[in-house]
Amino acid sequence: MPSLLEQYRVADFLGWHHEKRLELNPDFQRGSVWSPAARTYLIDSLLRRLPIPKVYLRTKIDVVTKTTIREVVDGQQRLRAILDFADNKLVLSRRAAEFAGLRYSTLGADLQEQFLSYPIAVDQLLNANDTDVLEVFSRLNSYSVALNAPEKRHAKYQGEFKWQVRKASKEWGSFWEGASVLTTRERVRMQDDSLVAEMLGFLIDGVGDGAQSDIDNLYKKYDKTFSADHPSVLALNMVLDRVSSAWAGELTGTSILRPPHLLMLFAATAARMIGIPPGKIDAQAQKGPLSPDDVIIDNLRYLASVIDLETPPGEQGMGAFWQASKANPHRVLSRKVRFPIYLQAVMGQLVE
């Protein structure tokens, strides 16, 4: 079965569609299931000349009509969004930032040309039968890396909570990498989304369990009700700004800024700066002033040294902290022990 990798413009797909030489719904394709937010995000990518995945077409030559028919094997949702936008059936939502509220007819001439000339990579399966197509996809799937939990959440949920998590993850990208919070590879696999989602969860519901199923429940709970102007969005940025600008420079490379420990530092800082609900750890933390930065940095350096010890420390109270840090630090039992210690650190109380 021969295949051919080529590139076509959006205008080519529009022409095939209007000539009825493009079949969007052969038997092995799903119906239209993308949300308005996902459709907007795709068009926004085209208008900004950002890459999108290639499309697979099965190309059949009809020797009677002497025409070529193209069946969409993979990429139907993308092409439906593109065709609907070109036909003025799709109005861009606020997900498209400065393009929000626009449809194709209200774009400027330059943007219309940019949209129509966007190149889409196409892998054509020439005269392939259904068995050939299924074989291609079984092989593609055998090479692919399974989606992890944050990638599955990003694919499943399309509400404002998911999009605000993604936005904050990108906005704080220089902090994640500059302070060695996450590696580039971890960010590619969307580990920063999990981090931000938990932080927003702390601000809304208090500190809970950090299992992937609990983060799933957070997305599910707020998928339909969250808004871009939710107070937690502003609070998230306020707390991260304090941590990153005042303390991170002196703590880069230490254990404190790795995700399990940064989460408890974030929660303790938020409890003092803004106040957070008790959550599952029954945190009795009152809103109040933080200690001077140099005191906090010294305390956090000390906690980092405790975390890095090979054996339990002798200081009273630190043995339990060390043990909780070495156990699964995302579980609520560990957080119940560690949160009060981080709270003491940011309040300037002696932790040694």
Per-residue 3-state assignment (H helix, E strand, C coil) for 79-127? HHHHHHHHCCCCCCCHHHHHHCCCCHHHCCHHHHHHHHCCEEEEEEEEC
| Co-location of 116 and 191 in the same domain | no
Strands across the sheet with 3-9, in order? 3-9, 119-126, 55-62, 67-74, 22-23
| Co-location of 231 and 330 in the same domain | yes
| Co-location of 89 and 164 in the same domain | no
Dump pLDDT digits (tens) for 48-70.
Answer: 999 999 999 988 877 888 888 89
Give me the amino acid identity at 323.
Answer: Q
| Co-location of 165 and 73 in the same domain | no
Given a contact cutoff of 8 angstroms between Cβ atoms, the answer to whether 325 and 261 are in contact is yes
Q: Tell whether the model's pLDDT for residue 169 goes beyond 70.
A: yes
What is the C-alpha to C-alpha distance for residues 145 and 143, in angstroms, rounded to an integer? 7
Q: At which of 99, 127, 143 does a domain end?
A: 143
| Co-location of 133 and 251 in the same domain | no
Q: Look up residue 187 and give its two tokens.
A: 């960010």
257: DSSP letter: G
Q: At which of 128, 143, 158 does a domain end?
A: 143
Give me the amino acid identity at 106.
Answer: T
What is the C-alpha to C-alpha distance for residues 242 and 237, in angstroms, rounded to an integer? 9
Q: At which of 84, 110, 143 does a domain end?
A: 143
Dump pLDDT digits (tens) for 282-327.
Answer: 766 678 999 999 999 999 999 999 999 999 887 767 999 999 999 8
Domain of residue 50, residue span: 3-143
What is the C-alpha to C-alpha distance for residues 247 and 339, in angstroms, rounded to an integer? 18
Average pLDDT over the chain, rounded to an integer: 90
Is residue 273 included in any domain, yes or no? yes
Torsion angle of C-alpha atoms 335, 341, 347, 351, degrees rounded to 10: -170
| Co-location of 166 and 307 in the same domain | yes
Least confident of 110-124, 134-148, 227-241, 286-300: 134-148
| Co-location of 106 and 191 in the same domain | no
Q: What percent of the chain has pLDDT over 90?
A: 70
Structurally, how many domains does the chain consist of? 2
Paired sense of beta strands 3-9 and 22-23, if any: unpaired
Given a contact cutoff of 8 angstroms between Cβ atoms, the answer to whether 254 and 304 are in contact is yes
Is residue 202 included in any domain, yes or no? yes
| Co-location of 176 and 63 in the same domain | no
| Co-location of 182 and 109 in the same domain | no
Least confident of 141-145, 167-171, 340-344: 141-145
| Co-location of 176 and 226 in the same domain | yes
Is residue 352 included in any domain, yes or no? no
